[in-house]
A and B are shown apart, each in its own frame.
Chain A
Amino acid sequence: MVKNKRIMIGMVFMIFLIGGIMAVGEVSFCCERMKTVSGGAGLWCQNAPLEECYGVGGGEFQAIPTSCESTSYCKLGCCHNLNEGTCMKNTPQANCNDESGGVWSDDSTCDIPQCQLGCCVLGGQAAFVTKTRCNSLSAIYGLEINYREDIQNEAECISTATSKKEGACVFEREYKLTCKKTTQKECNELKTNDEYSNVNFHESFLCSSDKLGADCGMSEKTTCVDGKDEVYFVDTCGNVANVYDYDQRNNPLYWEEIQPSSCEFDGGNGKICGNCDYLDGSTCKESKIGDLRPALGDYYCQDLGCEVPDDIFELMHTPAGKVTTNKKIKHGESFCVVAGTQGELLDGVVEIYRDEENAITTIDGSSAGSGAKITEGITEVDVMGYDKLELLRDKYNLPGSRHFRMICYDGEIIVEPCADYREEVCIQSSMDEKGDEFLTAKCRINQWQECATQTTVKNCNDRTKRDCIWFDGGGLGVCVPIYSPGLKFWEESGESVCMGATLSCEREYLKDINTAFQGHLEKGSTCGDEKWKQANKIYSMLLGDCGVKRNYLGYFGQDQGATLEVESGDWEHGTKVGNFGFG
């Protein structure tokens, strides 16, 4: 057994060693510029063979036989655009053209004073940019420069722009005392206009306030406001009042001063409450035929959540399955889908939940009444038995299958494929948000590479370091990937990983001088028996796209995939070796 493991580990090291040797076999140059397909000047600063470098013969660009990190001409820094105020990281000096306003500095992370961000207030808008860019934008809009270095994040910056103090601007026009909701500055501007008289600004007041005496009053009209999420009441003069709340429609106090919303939109009370919040998943929308009809006015809080569509797999350009769930996904939520599963879960949504904190993986294919739900936690399943391993082998991680992150945003599902060949896996978790579950998913690196070198159950199952699980295999005792990687099995790199499953064991026979060709079996009675063969067969399949498998479309591979070879041993020493291999 120990010998088996040693052989296996040795082979894994060999694979990396051979890969390394192959990588350094060809002399690589640092091309200041590469050639394009058509032979022109192409990409900057790439390591490649000399013949792929551009402009070397004429001395236009450089190439020396070393890695680009070691050269001065491809040293990466920060390119600061003097005209626009942008800062770009990881830029070679020669590519930061000073004629176009580029200034290069020796800090590839752009941690320099010129690239520090602040809040640029531009009228009713704001942008989190460098000071140079703020100057440029202010000039474009013809506005005074208002740059706030004290604001250090984008969210605060954007909220600053919308927090101008407003109030009621009361004035007399055409012998009528009327009112406009505006800022003090705009109200003062009316004073210079002869058409207006008795202009007075009342901060935080609404034009409908009885105290002001203007001709504006309460109304049952509502509206959406540019740049805001909520539905607002409108007074009889057309001014925007407070947030729509059916219960406050006749309350004079609610029409007196600007105040926060008195109702909370919970997704179900859209008829009576207009306190929508975009980040929480709702926004103001005009009610059209078929939409929700509010109790007052023509505007309501539209739910920005998504229904998982039936054609979700078509969105992912794979014919592998069909979603039968009608799960409602909230705006901003993201979830995982693994395209390409076979067997009883073919028609189901297959979701892999990963709770990193508790190290629990849940594979959920419970739609369409199949009820299949498998929870694997390291506390429960330290060592995988055949049943669960067969599930991994037969239904998941099939050749061609891929993980996807699905994002629900603004009523639409955006499909984000994780890296192919299962180099990335989609991990989903749920957060408790105000007592409500909120799904978040992320594509992250599949940490399968170290599995083969783990020799203990504890190290193998350490999910903080790797995505592996211990496979007992009837005494085989090996560490295998949870998400077995996709391999280019038709190429050398794929073959070399699958070769890791080529194992051998020994049987020892005692030579019988009275018989011609068969001795008495002394050791290794289980070597090469059916159980041993089965365990090794499963092991080869768990390593990656090895062995005989159906692919994600359900088709079997063409080749036999696994062979048992029994070689003649050295009868002189009474030993016979059986080699068992899969490809």
Chain B
Amino acid sequence: MKEKRGQVTIFIILAIVIVAVGVLVYLFYPKIQSSFSLNTDDPSTYLRNCIRGDLEGVVNDVSLRGGNLNPGDYFLYDDEKISYLCYTNQNYRPCVMQYPLLEQHISEEIKINIIENVDSCFDGLKENFENKGYEVKLKKGETIVELLPKRVIVKFEHELSLKKGENVLRYGGNDNRMISVALNNNLYELISITNSILNFEATDGDAEVITYMDYYRDLKVEKKKQSEGTTIYVLTDKNNGNKFQFASRSYVLSSW
């Protein structure tokens, strides 16, 4: 009888230990994963892992706020500050285009808001390889953000050389091994559609959402007219839920 009780106790303790380990793994897994992934011998992989999270966050926030991370002129919609991309403060007048080169503006906005993290990632990269016994030379260069169909690419014109013994590995500069980080995102496509809607807003003060959904089947376009004459457009990619939101105020009627 005593033996049986002892066995049961052991099983209970074992079960508690297993559960505790499970809980710890669950709680700390992301940290464990990130510390593993940053501890790599490939500089590109290191940078990708270091930059990706911040890049995703910035791209997402910029998209939800009409192309500006901290909009100066905005409409507050669902607790989000949404930039006016076309605006007039008058009634019965067409809006004035505020960002005619929207794609370039958004590229620049993303760049400005990731640059600090990019710098610290390169510093971390240098330190990481120095700790592994490499002689590291890092010449910092420009960071370029490109919006392309179905992806956002961040390229670094940094030059990095890693030397250990006689072996020298070079990255960036004129070398073909330019360091870059790519993010699957269709911001490029959503900006194209935004430009088209804005041209309708500038001429008619309105755009028909069904037309866009007929042509682009993975796209959902919502138009939300607000009380003081602002229209919020929400473009959603149905495949991945990516959104781009912006505000326009054009041909406003008299009551406002």
Contacts and interface: CB of A to CB of B under 8 A. Distances in A.
A424 B199 contact: no
B209 interface: yes
Contacts of B209: 407, 414, 416
B229 A46 contact: no
A443 B253 CA distance: 13
Nearest to B226: A420
Contact of A488 (B73, B202, B217, B255): B255
B94 to A, nearest CB: 6
Contacts of A40: 72
Contact of A38 (B72, B102, B192, B214): B72
Interface string B70-110: 00110000000000101111100011111011111000000
A89 B72 contact: no
Given A43-B98, A86-B103, A102-B100, A420 B203 contact: no
Nearest to B206: A443
Given A88-B198, A409-B220, A420-B225, A36 B101 contact: no
A46 B87 contact: yes
A124 interface: no
Interface centre among A279, A407, A488 (most CB of B within 10 A): A407
A48 B89 contact: yes
Interface centre among A40, A421, A486 (most CB of B within 10 A): A421
A457 interface: no
Contacts of B192: 86
Interface string A37-61: 1101111111110000000000000
A48 B195 CA distance: 27
B222 interface: yes
A418 B87 CA distance: 19
A506 interface: no
A44 B101 contact: no
B182 to A, nearest CB: 13
Interface in A466-509: 485-488, 493
On chain A, which size bracket covers the interface? 35 or more
Contacts of A137: 149
A102 B225 contact: no
A158 interface: yes
Contacts of B226: 420
Contacts of B222: 414-416
Contacts of B238: 410
B101 A81 contact: yes
B20 interface: no
Given A102-B101, A334-B210, A90 B202 contact: yes
Nearest to A102: B101
Contacts, number: 140
A74 B97 CA distance: 11
Interface string A434-455: 0000000001010001000000
B254 A423 contact: yes
Given A79-B101, A141-B149, A417 B225 contact: yes
Nearest to A37: B72
Nearest to B216: A158
Interface string B215-256: 101001011111101000000001000000000000001111
Contacts of A68: 96
Nearest to B221: A414
Given A90-B86, A95-B97, A486-B255, A419 B213 contact: no
A36 B222 CA distance: 27
A88 B97 contact: yes
Given A44-B98, A91-B100, A424-B253, A34 B73 contact: yes
B8 interface: no
Interface string A68-91: 100000101001010110111111
Contacts of A140: 148-149
Interface string B170-209: 0000000000000000000000100100110011000001
B104 A101 contact: yes
B215 A409 contact: no
A109 interface: yes
A423 B97 contact: no
B12 to A, nearest CB: 40
Contacts of B199: 87-89, 110
A400 to B, nearest CB: 11
A410 B213 contact: yes
A40 B71 CA distance: 11
B220 A84 contact: no
Contacts of B220: 409-410, 412, 414
B6 to A, nearest CB: 49
Nearest to A47: B90
A176 B253 CA distance: 73
A424 B202 contact: no
Contacts of B210: 332, 334, 407, 409
Contact of B213 (A89, A91, A409, A487): A409
Interface centre among A45, A86, A90, A334 (most CB of B within 10 A): A90
A255 B177 CA distance: 51
Interface in B129-163: 148-149
B197 to A, nearest CB: 11
Given A43-B73, A47-B90, A86-B103, A421 B227 contact: yes
A79 B90 contact: no
A301 interface: no
A47 B253 CA distance: 17
A445 B103 contact: no
Contacts of B95: 90
A96 interface: yes
Given A90-B86, A419-B225, A424-B253, A36 B72 contact: yes
Interface in A114-169: 137, 140-141, 154-155, 158
A97 interface: yes
A382 to B, nearest CB: 28
Given A34-B73, A83-B104, A419-B253, 14 more contacts: A36-B72, A42-B73, A43-B89, A44-B98, A86-B102, A86-B192, A88-B101, A88-B199, A154-B215, A332-B214, A407-B210, A410-B220, A416-B224, A493-B255
Interface of B: 72-73, 84, 86-90, 94-98, 100-104, 148-149, 192, 195, 198-199, 202-203, 209-210, 213-215, 217, 220, 222-227, 229, 238, 253-256
14 contacts: A40-B72, A86-B192, A88-B100, A90-B95, A90-B97, A91-B97, A97-B101, A140-B149, A414-B209, A414-B220, A417-B225, A423-B253, A424-B253, A485-B255
By Cβ-Cβ distance, the 4 closest A-B pairs, closest first, are A36-B72, A79-B100, A88-B100, A90-B202
